[in-house]
Structure 1
């Protein structure tokens, strides 16, 4: 329950009329960097949204993103949250330290918002002002997320054979 925040705020490098920028050198912490930044070197105002979504999943689950969460395949926290959500088991993601102090509907809403933040396509991610509205207005209708970036369904045994 002690998140460490870094690499946020890179969107401040933009002027008011820019939506994205190409960088010549990629810097950041693996697991928090958006796919468009890692793959193309393109950083946009939605890159920080991706990082925030990962951080939010870490906070509500009490788990780190850089660990593997399935023995039979490579699955980070984002992928693990996605699978639990799709299987209707989102509450299994809850940090045990939250216990009875957590309101289940609010917890599930936090997972949904976090999964919207880690959408693979940057254009599909909400803005940070939309994220705040989603978290503070329970009456706001939320879209359903699609498969997040860096989700892998690859079987570890199959991957070992392929090498």
Structure 2
């Protein structure tokens, strides 16, 4: 499976930069309070950056424990550390502070604060206990239990609510995929990694034009072809994730036979009819799912994946339909 981001140019930070206004070790970011951490605090919390949770183009993500006077047991945190000398990483770091400092919602990961000291730039988040949806869907082995059907529905609805919240605030996520959907201890979905997020169109504009960045297999075709980005670009990515949750297969896997490597191209013909849909449902569900609900989700996926972005539903409409399937 390939999860690499495609980059044909530079990302632009949002129009609402965070404001370094505050007192002590806290700053205001468009109405929300972010804590300014010292590098020594974060080094101690991670025991010199010992436990790696993940790695990407931005840098590595570490697990930490923040012990303070008011909480001797400590709070678990996740710390994203920018790779030194990464200009694209710096832009993504700024975008994360801008957007997650400005927005708050139960289905968005919570940014607690950051460290900006000389060459060291780090972001501090709440620790989301159950990791990414990607791990639950695609990792094999006795330690990874397949997600049951009811949990898959819960995750889909939570992620859809998060995208709806962003669209209402004219924010385009731009990199919606299973690795950017984190699951807490109750399997509540939280969208993470806002490094590629972008302010959406305003007024009469239908899209914003930007150089293409995202992940192969999830990016909307009109965006890849023209650089035209809109909220409907995120809707397409959501459609891809719907198909992944139905089939248990990743969006792109070059180890699959020719013709099956790109999930959407292969799966589309099976989504329209229930008799065909059953043949591509995730075998690890062992038949324990409601076929009627699965067929409904398949229809939503087909609508989200329409080539004409104007023909795709809004995320508000998607949430309404998904909630009826429970």
Q: Name the residue aligned to 2:304.
A: 117
Q: Name the residue aligned to 2:252.
A: 66
Q: Name the residue aligned to 1:4.
A: 179
1:101 equivalent among 283, 288, 291: 288
The whole-number CA distance in structure 2 between the counterparts of 1:68 and 1:116 is: 26
1:135 and 2:310 are equivalent in the alignment: no
Does the aligned pair in 2 maintain the 1:11–1:45 contact within 8 Å? Answer: no
Q: TM-score normalised to the size of structure 1? A: 0.72
Please state how far the C-alpha of 1:126 moved relative to its aligned partner.
0.4
Gaps of 5+ in 2: 1-135, 138-177, 181-191
Please state how far the C-alpha of 1:65 moved relative to its aligned partner.
1.3
Higher relative contact order (CA 8 A, sep 6+): 1
Distance 1:43 1:9, change over 3 A: farther
Does the aligned pair in 2 maintain the 1:34–1:51 contact within 8 Å? Answer: yes
**DSSP 3-state at the match of 1:65:** coil
Please state how far the C-alpha of 1:27 moved relative to its aligned partner.
0.6
1:92 equivalent among 272, 279, 289: 279
Q: Name the residue aligned to 2:220.
A: 34
**DSSP 3-state at the match of 2:267:** helix
Q: Flag as ranges the 4+ runs of structure 1 deviating above 6 A.
A: 6-11
- Per-residue Cα deviation, 1:80-130 (whole angstroms, up to 9, x for no partner): 221213564011121111123211110111111111111100001000001
**DSSP 3-state at the match of 1:32:** coil
The whole-number CA distance in structure 1 between the counterparts of 2:195 and 2:311 is: 20
Please state how far the C-alpha of 1:76 moved relative to its aligned partner.
2.0
- Per-residue Cα deviation, 1:129-153 (whole angstroms, up to 9, x for no partner): 0111111225xxxxxxxxxxxxxxx
The whole-number CA distance in structure 2 between the counterparts of 1:125 and 1:69 is: 30
Distance 1:122 1:101, change over 3 A: same
Q: Name the residue aligned to 2:200.
A: 14
Number of equivalences: 137
The whole-number CA distance in structure 1 between the counterparts of 2:302 and 2:232 is: 14
Q: Greater share of strand residues, 1 or 2?
A: 2
Does the aligned pair in 2 maintain the 1:61–1:94 contact within 8 Å? Answer: yes
Distance 1:74 1:57, change over 3 A: closer
Does the aligned pair in 2 maintain the 1:110–1:135 contact within 8 Å? Answer: yes
- Bigger Cα Rg: 2
Does the aligned pair in 1 maintain the 2:196–2:213 contact within 8 Å? Answer: no
Q: Greater share of helix residues, 1 or 2?
A: 1
Distance 1:8 1:121, change over 3 A: farther
Q: TM-score normalised to the size of structure 2? A: 0.38
Gaps of 5+ in 1: 139-163
The whole-number CA distance in structure 1 between the counterparts of 2:195 and 2:256 is: 32
